Structure 1
């Protein structure tokens, strides 16, 4: 992989080209955006249903945390083995097939009486295929929109994800009053099916892709070139580890305060929404990079308040402020895209996303493991301290 930025024929940056409304008027982006929204909603509902089911059956903070974020463990397998399919010649068909696999897996979770071991196996299988789907979707996104509109496009999708998670948790809590967790899985499966239909109806094939057949060797070769460059390694480290540890903090909300976990999760999502709106839409690229380091500090610092078990209102404000810090991923992702040749940007973005998701699973496991021996509040504080330490010790020179 060349270490220099690739040159692509982008349209000149203009307000029209980078505005949210202009993006949504594009049929293909609109289709990717809507299918993404439906997929996030389905994932939120199914994760909430599984976490509720596991918590009721086991009462274990560790297993509950892993059930909510455990699919992220399998994303690294996708990144290491078959992520090159994201840059295949027919990405639309690939995305449709991967969406169908997710549909089957979520529908299987709706079967009552399924052993927990089988549910966790399904969770890991879905994580593997979802990582490939993310790489394929992001590769298509980079082709559907010009380079000048990439950050606003990712910002809009992140904002939508945050809002969708807020609504998803609220709706999930309401639906669980009338449905069992199995019914919630069925709703998630229906949303996944609808998202698949949207992709089929709106997205066309794109092909500026590799002529060589994607597979295990191609994935390994590209990954080796990706990690050979120190600057890219540092970018990936800062995209993965601090975020993952903070997600581990959030995975303990059910154990920390079961009655108010929904409030804390919604506050975190609201903060993410606000941060992406400000950083992705209101700041230009230069200012995004200027504020990146401060945002990464904000990501972890408010969680240190959990050491004193603050009132729920104070905790929710702290969590919301920390959520704003997740917007630091945007300038880091922009820099990574600049250093990526066109023909492999789907795989590189897929590896970045898979690593970030995998570290969310690792963070959940670390925080859940700590909570087995410490109080949940203390475990949250320790995980936040580790996140802050990584940010301080591994500051990329180019992002400050």
Structure 2
């Protein structure tokens, strides 16, 4: 207990449990935690502003979903090609550069009178820069935390991120109704600057994962990362578990038109939109806390398939056109099921070499964001013809089926791995 921690890392055996207090006590983790939470708060406010602004201008669920999808689709390019920058260069430097560039771009978005096409272009560039930033942060976290401390740290970040989303979405509608969308975008720009200051003061400099004389080309890193991630059955299954969120995130993309269906004289559309977008993050906060605090590491892996099915099943209730309270409850329950991502993330980290983590995380994040963006775009297209309720229900049905298939593959993969371990032990 009194031993010095080398290089500021929290070292703990995989089988032992870490505590939230131990993880929060690590200064570098706090810096990553605070910076991410600050910039995310501004992002959620900006997303509500964009959704309300576009729906007010067009009245079209498809246009609203299309702009919302712009916050996901750039990662199709940015993930594979730009995430490797966080392995090629110092990860803290990559994060700082991305923060400063995004602050400038969002500040331009906050200028009143910005043409709609220019606004969409700036959104694309801002999200494009999130790929190397997220890859650098994801690769840096295992260097600071190890074993179950990494799971607890990931859970704490996840809970905080979802809580910030819940706060940003829920309060966003009311704030935008009073301050307007452009001021909300200006706040988002300021949060990126705040994040950069926190990173400078709280995160140590580290050398690049690849030495200067042995840095491969970006294309070589991208193809090698793809072979690593998709060449293993276990990693492929974990990646598909991560991408499953495309089904249960889809409702957020059509929250504004869904809110228009649920609007009453008491609650206006922007407020209902914020409540709907906050429901799943609320459930994820609860689920992440319960899953990380009360479930042992080995049991998390066994429950992963069941939790994945829970993340989609409650959405099916929207087929019956229930009232707002029931919809909110179902979406909260869906968010609780989404806590299975903690186990998938931890298992993925253990299988990837440290010097290739940023590229691997970038590829996964690319598919993750692309699946969400494409799902939201398809959902908006379908909602314009069928209405939002049946589209959300169909997403839930397809998600449950996909989760059940992945759960069976995962169980088989773990059984094969256990058989191999027993066979090696008898040799």
**Normalised TM-score (structure 2):** 0.87
Partner secondary structure for residue 18 of structure 1: coil
1:38 is aligned to 38
Aligned to 2:297: 285
Give a deviation string over 1:322-367, Cα, whole Å, max 9, x none. Answer: 1101111111112211110111112212322232122111111121
Report 1:12-31 matches (<5 A): 12-13=12-13, 18-31=18-31
Give the equivalent residue in structure 1 for 2:111: 111
Q: Which residue is 1:228 aligned to?
A: 231
| Superposition map of 1:185-334 within 5 A | 185-207=185-207, 209-211=209-211, 212-213=214-215, 215-240=218-243, 242-258=244-260, 259=269, 260-334=272-346
Pairing 1:75-224 to 2, within 5 Å after superposition? 75-207=75-207, 209-211=209-211, 212-213=214-215, 215-224=218-227
CA deviation map 1:11-48 (0-9, x unaligned):
23499982222222211111010001012112111111
**DSSP 3-state at the match of 2:178:** coil
1:210-256: CA deviation from partner (whole Å, max 9, x where unpaired): 2232623222222233212222122211210x211211122222111
- When residues 238 and 318 of structure 1 are mapped into structure 2, their CA distance, relative to the original with a 3 A threshold, is same
SS at match of 2:177: coil
CA positional deviation for 1:89? 4.1
- State the Cα distance separating 1:54 from its structure 2 match: 0.8
Q: Structure 1 stretch 207-216 or stretch 343-352: which is displaced more?
A: 207-216
Query: Equivalents in 2 of 1:394, 1:148: separation in Å?
Result: 24
Q: Distance in 2 between matches of 1:116 and 1:385?
A: 35
User: Alpha-carbon deviation of 1:90?
Assistant: 1.3
Q: Whose radius of gyration is greater, 1 or 2?
A: 2
Equivalent residues of 2:250, 2:379 under 8 A apart = yes
Partner Cα distance (1:11, 1:162) in 2: 27
- Long gaps (5+) in structure 2: 1-8, 261-268, 416-427
Determine if contact 2:305/2:406 at 8 Å carries over to the other structure. Answer: no
Separation in structure 1 between the aligned mates of residue 182 and residue 291 of structure 2, nearest angstrom = 38
Which position in structure 1 is the counterpart of 2:418? none
Aligned residues: 391
Q: Is the 8 A contact 2:28 2:202 kept in 1?
A: yes
Deviates more, 1:305-314 or 1:84-93: 84-93
Q: Given that residues 28 and 204 in structure 1 are in contact (C-alpha distance below 8 angstroms), is that contact kept between their aligned partners in structure 2?
A: yes
Contact kept? 2:80, 2:359, Cα under 8 Å: no
Task: Give the 3 Å change call, closer, same or farther, for CA 364–399 of structure 1 in structure 2.
Answer: farther
Flag the 1:180–1:10 CA change in 2: closer, same or farther, 3 A: closer
- Secondary structure of 1:53's aligned partner: helix
Distance 2:256 2:174 in 1: 16
For the Cα contact (< 8 Å) 1:293–1:399, is it kept in 2? no
| Counterpart pick for 1:383 among 384, 388, 395 | 395
Distance 1:36 1:118 in 2: 26
Change (3 A) 1:14 1:75: closer
Ranges of 4+ aligned residues in structure 1 off by more than 4 Å: 14-17
State how 1:47-62 maps to structure 2 within 5 Å: 47-62=47-62
Contact 2:280 2:332 in 1 (8 A): yes
CA distance in 1, matches of 2:228, 2:309: 30
For residue 325 of structure 2, give the secondary structure of its aligned residue in structure 1. Answer: helix
- Consecutive unaligned residues of structure 1, counting only runs of 5 or more, are 1-8
